[in-house]
Amino acid sequence: MPTKFSTQSQIRQYNVSNAVASARIEGIVPTKQLEQNLTDYVTGNKSIGQILKETKQRYAANRPK
């Protein structure tokens, strides 16, 4: 029986919880930055696209030249 959600935030929280659980099973621990970004995603303050863009910029800035 499928789970029913009443808000977009609930759908996002469900998806984030599943993704984090899968990562933890694989031994990956989310950083504080990722946890904050996911909270922002769940509340609708950021899109996944924005999070990806910020992450790419952060890693590009830290690459050796």
Instruction: Give per-residue pLDDT as tens, 15-61.
Output: 999 999 999 999 999 999 999 999 999 999 999 999 999 999 988 88
Q: How much is the pLDDT for 61? A: 83
The Cα 25–Cα 43 span in angstroms is 25
Q: How much is the pLDDT for 2? A: 61
| 3-state SS record for 17-53 | HHHHHHHHHCCCCCCHHHHHHHHHHHHCCCCHHHHHH
Q: For residue 5, what are the contacts with CB-CB under 8 A and spacing of at least 6?
A: 11, 14
Considering the entire predicted model, what is its pTM?
Answer: 0.81
